[in-house]
C-alpha cells in the first residue's frame, strides 16, 4: 500500500481507518519520517484518521472538528503554508458507517 501511495511523492496523504498498528508502521518508516509530518496522532479511537504532510510544507495549525456521531468520528483539519505564501486547508474524515447511520452521515456532511 505505502509503495503505491508514495510512488509520486504526494504533498498530503489522508488515511481513514488507521489502527495503532498501522500508525506504528508509519512512525517507524524511514522514508516517511524523513519526508513527512504525521498529523492526527495520538489516535482518538481504536481506529481513526491521520494525515501525512510533506515536510516542505509548513503545518500552521491542526484541529479536530466534532461530529454528531455514535462511532467516535471526527474531522481532522490542517492549515498548510505553501511556497506562494498562501494557506491551504486540508481535511479528512471518516463518516459514520452502516445502513442505519445514513441520517447521521447526512448531518456529518453538513459539518
Whether the CB-CB separation of 39 and 65 falls below 8 Å is answered with: no
What phi-psi label fits residue 70: left (phi over 0), alpha (psi between -120 and 50 degrees) or beta?
alpha
| Residue range 87-98: mean pLDDT, rounded | 85
- Stated pTM of the model: 0.84
> In degrees rounded to 5, what are phi and psi of residue 33?
-65, -25
> In degrees rounded to 5, what are phi and psi of residue 70?
-110, 0
pLDDT at 68: 66
- Is residue 105 pLDDT above 90, yes or no? no
For residue 69, give the C-alpha cell: 456521531
Q: Report the DSSP beta bridge partners of residue 74.
A: 66
Amino acid at each position: 500500500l505505502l509503495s503505491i501511495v508514495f510512488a509520486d511523492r504526494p504533498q498530503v496523504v489522508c488515511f481513514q481507518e488507521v489502527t495503532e498498528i498501522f500508525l506504528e508502521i508509519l512512525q517507524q518508516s524511514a522514508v516517511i519520517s524523513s519526508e513527512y509530518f504525521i498529523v492526527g496522532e495520538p489516535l482518538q479511537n481504536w481506529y481513526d484518521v491521520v494525515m501525512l504532510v510533506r515536510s516542505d510544507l509548513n503545518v500552521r495549525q491542526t484541529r479536530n472538528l466534532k461530529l454528531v456521531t455514535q462511532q467516535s468520528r471526527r474531522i481532522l483539519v490542517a492549515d498548510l503554508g505553501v511556497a506562494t505564501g498562501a494557506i491551504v486547508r486540508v481535511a479528512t474524515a471518516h463518516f459514520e458507517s452502516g445502513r442505519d447511520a445514513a441520517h447521521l452521515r447526512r448531518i456529518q456532511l453538513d459539518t
